[in-house]
């Protein structure tokens, strides 16, 4: 006996990852509670609206819009899975780093009819990368002069091809 549709909606609302679905026109057809939590946008504000025009503007690390390489659009066209990390603009105005996977949705004939985007807040991973980069710099660059230190030179010397 199949479960009622409401059961699956409640199940998706319990997930930690944000989930949104779009149709062929990139209009939002589904938005779970985690998508709401991560973005700050409630379902009523996004249902039926086109993704990326006003909502969830995707940006790179420097804040440049990524819409020229719209991965949802590419997924709808080529039917291929996409994985990417980018930033979204939260409703409150700050940027949230997210890791995202986009999957095509096929009908019974195998035609792409939409896409699902699964994403999660990537703040802790980005913070860890930043700490690692700072530690790497501290280990290789003299903080007073800004010049390479002995560790850097040893690393460079060992990596240098021998003649």
Any residues with CB less than 8 A from the CB of 32 and at least 6 apart, and which?
12, 13, 15, 18, 19, 20
Helix, strand, coil percent values for the chain (each to nearest 5):
35, 30, 35
- pLDDT value at 152 more than 80: yes
CA distances from 68 to 57, 71, 155 (A): 11, 9, 39
Q: What is the pLDDT of residue 116?
A: 95
Residue 109 pLDDT grade (very low, low, confident, very high; cuts 50, 70, 90): very high
pLDDT, the chain, mean:
86
Q: What is the pLDDT of residue 134?
A: 87
CATH no. for 5-121: 3.30.450.20
Over residues 4-20, mean pLDDT = 87
Run of H or E including 153: helix 150-159
Assessment of whether the complete model's pTM goes beyond 0.85: no
Q: Is the four-CA dihedral 44, 47, 48, 50 of positive or negative sign?
A: positive
- pLDDT value at 15 more than 80: yes
The whole-angstrom separation of Cα 57 and Cα 64 is 10
Q: What is the pLDDT of residue 54?
A: 62
- pLDDT value at 140 more than 80: yes
Tens digits of per-residue pLDDT, 41-92? 999 999 888 877 666 777 888 878 776 668 888 999 999 999 988 888 889 9
Domain ranges for the chain = 5-121, 128-159
């Amino acid at each position: 006996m199949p479960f009622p549709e409401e059961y699956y909606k409640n199940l998706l609302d319990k997930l930690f990852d944000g989930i949104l679905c779009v149709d062929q026109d990139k209009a939002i057809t589904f938005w779970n509670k985690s998508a709401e939590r991560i973005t700050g946008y409630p379902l009523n504000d996004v249902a039926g609206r086109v993704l990326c025009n006003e909502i969830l503007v995707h940006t790179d690390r420097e804040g440049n819009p990524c819409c020229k390489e719209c991965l949802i659009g590419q997924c709808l066209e080529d039917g291929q899975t996409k994985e990417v990390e980018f930033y979204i603009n939260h409703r409150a105005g700050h940027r949230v780093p997210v890791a995202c996977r986009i999957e095509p949705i096929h009908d019974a004939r195998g035609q792409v009819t939409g896409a699902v985007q699964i994403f999660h807040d990537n703040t802790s991973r980005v913070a860890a990368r930043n700490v690692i980069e700072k530690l790497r710099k501290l280990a290789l660059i003299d903080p007073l002069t800004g010049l390479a230190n002995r560790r850097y030179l040893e690393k460079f010397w060992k990596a240098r091809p021998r003649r």
